[in-house]
Amino acid sequence: MRKIGVLGAGSWGTALSKVLCENGHDLKVWLRDETQCNDIRTTKINNKYLPNVILPDNLYFTTDIEEALGSSEIILNAIPTQKIREVFKMIPKNLVTDKIIINCSKGIELGTHYLISEIIKEESINSDYVILSGPSHAEEVALQLPTAITAASDNEEAAKIVQDLFMTTYLRVYTNKDVKGVELGGALKNIIALGAGISDGVGFGDNAKAALMTRGVLEMSRLGMCLGAEFSTFQGLSGIGDLIVTCTSKHSRNRNAGFLIGQGLKKDEAIKKIGMVVEGITTTYAAYELAKENNVDMPIVHAMYDVLENSADVKETVTKLMLREKKDE
């Protein structure tokens, strides 16, 4: 049995906490909202994020971050990307020292363009970082539907420890050493999923979405390899696998937000209607800036930026993409 502190009780943090608790580990989950915390304690249901899932009786929730992490040897981070640094700065440094820190959030920090591994490295001391990513919706994992994900770390032993923590009859975990590739795959696919939703919302067909997804993998790989990731990672679970599920699933908040934008809503209106963090929107801005800085050709990302930032007409934007200079595949 491992003592694990969890940061964040959104859908993914809650679903993974349920897996770990059912695997026999001792968990304490931190969240900010006192009312939500009391409701979960009383009902054993996270009504805001996983209303159809009953949680284990021994899964403990608290609004005291030091109580959640005080006795932990492992930390699971499920805080949205743009809030991770803020939360880690709240934590006494001794509580984020010499730990295994598992991250299941996806994105790129605005301003710094840091990946989450780089944020955690700055905000913790002598801790091993492991990123969990892959085609996995919290709603399905919480219902014990078959799922496969990747645990990537520079420390092979830490990756295997995390693999053992989560493995069940319905959740299969593969290890990987390409931390940067796994992180970038998980972040960048949200941009493509947002575009897939816009495509559906505006009324384009399956042909358009298939082309978007296929060319999107290429753009993800281009930026990834420029930043030091391995091409093969983008062909695996955290690349193509995660892209497929996020572009096509009814559970995908990025795809669903894109659909609303395609239907005519502004990005802020879409976010409000979704009611959860839509990482693909902030990641579009970060990826657009990274592509410019590194002179990487990412026409889909540029088009998405134009739609989000400049309210460009979607159909005109697609026409521009279709009429780009002819080239070999």
Active site amino acids: 189
What residues have CB less than 8 Å from 313, skipping those under 6 apart?
Answer: none
The dihedral built from the CA positions of residue 254, 182, 242 and 156, taken in this order, carries a sign that is negative
State the Cα–Cα distance between residues 298 and 19, nearest whole angstrom: 37
Give the C-alpha separation, 242 to 111, whole Å. Answer: 25
**Cβ 279 vs Cβ 208: under 8 Å:** no
What are residue 241's phi and psi, to 5 degrees? -60, -50
Long-range contacts of 82-87 (CB under 8 A, 24+ apart): 82/107, 82/109, 82/110, 82/282, 84/109, 84/116, 84/119, 84/120, 84/123, 85/109, 85/119, 85/122, 85/123, 87/7
